[in-house]
A and B are shown apart, each in its own frame.
Chain A
Amino acid sequence: MAELSLQIVIEHDSKFQLQVDTSIPANQITAIYGPSGSGKTTLLHSIAGLKRGQGNSRVRHGDSTWQEGDYFLPAWQRAVGVVFQDARLFPHLDVRGNLLYGAKRRGSSGLTLDKVSQWLELEPLLKRSSQELSGGQRQRVAIGRALLSGAELLLMDEPLSGLDKKAAKRIINHLKLLHRETGITVLYVSHNIEEVAQLADQVLLLQDGQIEAQGPLLDLCTRLDTSLSREPQAGAILLGTVSNHLKDFDLTTIDVEGQTLHVGQVAAKPGTGYRLHIPARDVSVCRQRPVATSILNILPVKLADIQASGENRVLLKLQLQNQHILARITRKSLTDLELKQGDELYAQVKTVALLGDSGSHS
């Protein structure tokens, strides 16, 4: 599979709608994250061939040039599958007809209808009219349809917006499964940090049509200088391994960099890799290891960086061996504790959100 190289400029009313120059790695899920109006959809449509970059724009996918100078390959000739925000199923075709629409035109590059229906749990729906489906079902069909269209690149434009939490969670699990099975390159546009946190390997931050930052999710989450860190939900994402189940207390322990974290019980075998999200506002620090405390998760960390965050708060970047945690405390506490870079501290973690199976097993 091939790397995607982008140099796209799109102007509107002498204002930049989009101005990017970057490349997207193959075989990974890259999230495109940003507020509304930041150009995420424009970027996606330019890659898909539904919108044309101006000036010297260039789009290349591996060895194929999709746009360069006057040359422009239209959408139907690019090996991209697009999942739109509103599913856009064809009303005159049943689910099966929709799924096979792209396959009939570009071939399905090895994937079969049976396999994809199985992955997305669409088997009981195949004969149904596309009008009779719920929101979640329609999006699953849209995903299956895009996947079966011979796509080497899957573009998803906020596919979970408008879905209830349960349906969204289900689809996220499906997407993880799909990505594991096919290894297809995915570009996932979202303004929901939780979705990004659960799915992405790489993140591209867009702000006013420009790339603010780009890199692996884990790194970007703990950077203090990006708009991500200013989100209320900001926090570190950690990778750990399931170690034990404490059946008496309905808890599971997860090993992260040699330390033990207690989380709500998960149905995963010991050795399974797991992604965890620790919101910065749920982390406090102390100079001494607390004793006789109700908080189970206490980690020895080193203070790596400090950044102002709002009027009366600061954001701390805490190093835990090879990974990092973020903590948000008051400026007053910072002064009272005389915290400075390099200090050896203890982080108390009140909430660990489980993001799910990270896909790796040891």
Chain B
Amino acid sequence: MTLSKELVAASTIPLVLSLLAHDDSYGYALIKRIRELSGERIAWSDGMLYPVLRRLESQGLIASYWNKAPSGRRRRYYRIETPGRQELDRLIEQWSLVSTVFTRLQKESPPCSN
């Protein structure tokens, strides 16, 4: 099973914000972490992450800074800002609402089966 394109697009921002809420990180590490956590089933195409990060930064939800990577190259790290945390709370609420409704529906009425 893999996620549909639409669901990937909708879940990218909450996932990125959640990851950054734990710890500052950089592009490649974010993608690797999602791959690991989803058991390789959420496979973002790497490139699509960057426009999302730019947008979140321009909205002030996250901020970026440069640091030296162990390899010696300079690396751009991202950290979550206060508005980002507030947005994350909002998104988590929305996702759990959908999830709750979904779960209840599954319990109350069995799926249609002819």
Q: Say if A and B assemble together.
A: no
